[in-house]
Amino acid sequence: MSDNSIRFRPVSRRRVLAAGAAGGAVLAAAGTVPRVLRAQPAAIKVGLLHPVTGAISYSGQQARAGALMAIEDINAAGGIASMGGAMLEPVLGDAQSQPEVGAAEVERMNEEGVAAIIGAYASSISLATTQAAARYDLPHIVDVGVSDQIVSRGLANVFRFGPGFGKIADTAITNLVTINEAAGSPARTVMIVHEDSLFGSGLADLLNARLPEHGFEVLDTISHPTPTRDFNNVVLQLKARQPDLIIPANYYNEYVLLARTMLQQRVQPKAVYSVLGGAASSFRFLEEFPGAAQYIMDCNHWYDPSNPKSAELRQRAEGEGLYFTYEFFLDYCCVGLLADALERAGSAERPAIIEALAASTWDGHIMPYGPTEFVDGQNQGARPVNTQILGDDIEVIFPTEVASAEPVFPMPERG
């Protein structure tokens, strides 16, 4: 925290150059190898399509950085062995936070001959890009895009590594019930605060439908636009109705404002239980506002802390001056998923890659998903994880087999 200046560098550009240089170095090294050895196989182009400018550019840039690091790693480890050590070559795309720009980038990437596309972070953009890629049977791995519509349109080229809404809402409720019952069921009333686009409102609808089935009473559901400039009114309502649980589902900026205002207005629920809370499992938030972040729980994309590779990757990301966010590690894993498929396909032909992805049983990732298994494009093992901010770290509290701490619930008085 003392030295934030290291985080100001335009890392993406530098990393692109570095990736290019690394690739170049490998090629150069190959060039010095005696010619009698087999020729260097052609690089496999991988489209990395993210919204790196515009409203959601932070997430897009994090996702791109994660994917680029994975490509570097795979190339450093010798590329795709079954294809004679072919290197992966990133083809970068910017969706500018707009679906139609994303779709246009798919067209460009297709012409540049990418073997597959990884992206496009937001659900609305992913809907457009997967559909555009479908025209060319171009394999498209969806990194985040939680809307279940993405994988329910019967597009054979689409594979989503992470969980969708339905799964996330189910897990969030199941774990909430478990946590609550373990503490003697102190919580009964709930208020949901969500952002009002596809992601927040879709989730709020699911929660509203399912929470009452488990004996929770939803006192109120407050939706707010992104950006929202001030949360005092929302917090006033929370304070007036005093729910046992507050469930926020929104993006980073709004989450931070909400959490800060709750602390300032001394709102004391039994738990802040976020579902895909924008900042609730963010190291940046914890670092900058440890007071407001303390004891916040989140059901979100998260890595398996018991996997030694995850700690190592986190260290490397932080070494690059990046926060280790879900966009970063999900995209890192998506590249690995593709590399595994390429390895088994032994070819950069699109149908072969699609077939290999569909048959994928890859477990080299750092997510608590188990080996991949795709049904209609959705990774069956994908699931969110419950985290809680305890002290100066983000601990996993569920599922128990990967948990690093016990949940603290109800949360103690915060000051």
Footprint (CB under 8 A) of another protein, residues 189-218: 195-198, 200-202, 205
Question: Tokens representing 100?
Answer: 């139609």
Q: How far is the CB of 64 from another protein (least distance, A)?
A: 8
What x-and-dash track marks residues 1-20 binding another protein by CB under 8 A? ---xx-xx-xxxx--x----
Q: What one-character-per-residue DSSP string does 118-131 give? A: EE--SHHHHHHHHH
Handedness of CA 114, 116, 122, 124 (dihedral sign): positive
Distances, alpha carbon 43 to alpha carbons 75, 78, 139, 244, 345, in Å:
10, 12, 17, 56, 15
- Shortest separation between residue 283's beta carbon and another protein, angstroms: 12
Given the complex with another protein, which of 150 and 396 has the nearer CB atom?
150
Among positions 105-124, residues that touch another protein (CB under 8 A) are 107-108, 110-111, 124
**Window 316-355: residues binding another protein (CB under 8 A):** none
- Binder of another protein out of 75, 98, 175, 300 (CB under 8 A): 98
Q: Minimum CB separation from another protein for residue 407, in Å?
A: 26
Closer of 199 and 369 to another protein (Cβ): 199
Q: In the complex, what is the shortest distance from the CB of residue 193 to another protein, in angstroms, rounded to a whole number?
A: 9
The Cα–Cα gap between 414 and 391 comes to: 12
Kindly tell me which residue out of 100, 349, 363, 392 binds another protein, with binding defined by CB under 8 A: 100
Q: CA distances (Å), 381 to each of 55, 165, 344, in order? A: 31, 14, 20
Residue 117, helix vs strand vs coil: strand
Residue (265 or 307) nearer to another protein, CB: 265
Q: What is the smallest separation between the CB atom of 135 and another protein, expressed in angstroms?
A: 8
Residue 240's H or E segment, with its range, is helix 232-241
Min separation Cβ 228 and another protein, Å: 6
Site for another protein in 372-411 (CB under 8 A): none
- Rounded to the nearest 5 percent, the helix, strand and coil shares of the chain are 45, 15, 35
Q: What are 37's two structure tokens?
A: 């050895």
Per-position DSSP letters for 198-236, written without gaps between them: HHHHHHHHHHHHHGGGGT-EEEEEEEE-SS-S--HHHHH
Site for another protein in 140-199 (CB under 8 A): 147, 149, 153-155, 195-198
Q: What is the dihedral of CA 60, 58, 316, 380, to 10 degrees?
A: -50
Q: What SS3 class is residue 190?
A: strand
Cβ 390 vs Cβ 405: under 8 Å: yes
Give the nearer residue to another protein in terms of CB position, either 96 or 360.
96
By CB under 8 A, the residues from 207 to 266 that bind another protein are 222-225, 227-230, 232-234, 236-237, 239-241, 252-253, 256-257, 260, 263-266
The Cα–Cα gap between 166 and 13 comes to 36
Which span sits near another protein by CB under 8 A: 99-107, 171-179, 207-215, 352-360?
A: 99-107
What's the closest the beta carbon of residue 284 comes to another protein, in angstroms? Answer: 7
Structure tokens that stand for 339 in this block: 């590399």
Cis amide bond preceding 399, omega within 30: yes
**Nearest distance, CB of residue 159 and another protein, angstroms:** 17
**What element of type H or E holds 89?**
strand 88-94
Site size for another protein (CB under 8 A): 77
Q: Is residue 151 within 8 Å of 160, Cβ to Cβ?
A: yes
Contacts of another protein in 23-62 (CB under 8 A): 52-55, 57-58, 60-61
Nearer to another protein (CB atom), residue 265 or residue 404: 265
Please give the helix or strand (H or E) that residue 110 lies within, else none: helix 99-111
272 to 311: interface string for another protein, x by CB under 8 A: ------------x---xx-x--------------------
Contact pick of 75, 96, 310, 372 for another protein (by CB under 8 A): 96
Among 47, 67, 70, 131, binds another protein (CB under 8 A): 131
Q: Pick between residue 140 and residue 365 the one whose CB is nearest to another protein.
A: 140
